[in-house]
Amino acid sequence: MKIGELAQRSGLSPSRIRFYESRGLLQAVSRQTNGYREYPSDALLTLQLIVGAQNAGFSLDEIGRLIPPDLSAWNQGELIDGLQRKVAQIDAAQVKLAQSRAHLMALITEIQNKPEDMACADNARQFLDRVRGDALAAGAATGRTTPAT
């Protein structure tokens, strides 16, 4: 099938399809004598897999390692390992996001609960001094001499 038909059937632009091809994710593209690209019938499935994997958080490099050039040659063990690695990355990101959320919620509470007679700038300085102190204490506990960034 030609790129226009593949674009229409996949919902992707021709430039995006060519991009995936240039990254080596879309294999076995042949050229007709007039130079037009000719895609095999499984190109649509490959594009659906690429888009689905991207939506699940996989990078193009990760997708390239997971999707075999020939879709009939899946290595189940490698696929499961790749998927499990992504789940572990998502779990780690969720922990970090939960910590960031808790930190922001504490900041909001602290700002909202400032004493009535304290200027906002003074409250901010007091809060920043405490954050710096906490960061230095955490750095000392981990052996760092400067706050982590």
The residue that leads in pLDDT, 12 or 145, is 12
Residue owning tokens 């895609």: 39
pTM of the model: 0.66
Chain segment 35-94, per-residue pLDDT in tens: 888 888 889 999 999 999 999 999 999 998 888 877 777 888 888 998 999 999 999 999
- Which tokens belong to 49? 């897999």
Chain segment 27-39, per-residue pLDDT in tens: 767 787 888 888 8
The residue that leads in pLDDT, 114 or 104, is 104
3-state secondary structure 14-82: HHHHHHHHHCCCCCCCEECCCCCEECCCCHHHHHHHHHHHHHCCCCHHHHHHHCCCCCCCCCHHHHHHH
Do residues 71 and 46 lie in contact, with contact meaning Cβ atoms separated by under 8 Å? yes
